């Protein structure tokens, strides 16, 4: 991350992930959705499934792989934000899932690797409609 701040690297990772999702048939409906509870990086449809996608980006693996950063606390936070979003949109039925887009970016070689993990986790048990 020599020339990029953590925030810049995160934005770059989200842009890379969004392009990857589009190329793989996802229809992005919202990026960086925020409410008082938190943020969802990307909201998109893959067919009839509404996907809530958390993007994690790393320039190296010194702090672990990107997907390892989506632990239980982060999953609970995402669950809260998603339920709030669904209620605000009046969506009480249908298929939805939580995906994680793990982006490894090396700015020296400009190599990008994306690991899209579908159904990365379930809605936290303490939350429900």
Structural domains for the chain: 6-121 (3.40.1350.10)
pLDDT tens readout for residues 68-125: 889 999 999 999 999 999 999 999 888 999 999 999 987 666 767 899 999 999 986 6
Can you give 75-119 as a three-state secondary structure string?
HHHHHHHHHHHHHHHCCCCCCEEEEEEEEEEECCCCEEEEEEEEE
pLDDT score recorded for residue 128 = 59
Phi, psi of 72 (to 5 degrees): -60, -40
- Tens digits of residue pLDDT in 47-84: 999 999 999 998 877 777 888 889 999 999 999 999 99
The structure's pTM equals 0.89
Phi-psi label, residue 64: left if phi above 0, alpha if psi -120 to 50, beta otherwise: left
pLDDT of residue 127: 56
Residue tagged 């899932």 (tokens) = 97
With H, G, I as helix, E, B as strand and everything else as coil, classify residue 91: coil
Which comes out higher in pLDDT, residue 93 or 29?
A: 29
Q: Which of 60, 58, 49 is nearest to 21 (CA)?
A: 49
């Amino acid at each position: 991350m020599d020339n990029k701040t953590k925030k810049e690297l995160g934005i770059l990772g989200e842009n890379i992930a969004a392009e990857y999702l589009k190329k793989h048939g996802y229809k992005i409906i919202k990026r960086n959705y925020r409410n008082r509870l938190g943020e969802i990086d990307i909201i998109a449809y893959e067919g009839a499934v509404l996907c809530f996608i958390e993007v994690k980006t790393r320039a190296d693996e010194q702090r672990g792989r990107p997907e390892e950063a989506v632990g239980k606390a982060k999953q609970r936070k995402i669950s809260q934000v998603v339920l709030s979003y669904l209620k605000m949109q009046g969506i009480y039925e249908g298929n939805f899932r939580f995906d994680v887009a793990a982006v490894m970016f090396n700015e020296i070689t400009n190599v990008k690797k994306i690991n899209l993990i579908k159904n990365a986790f379930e809605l936290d048990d303490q939350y429900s409609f």
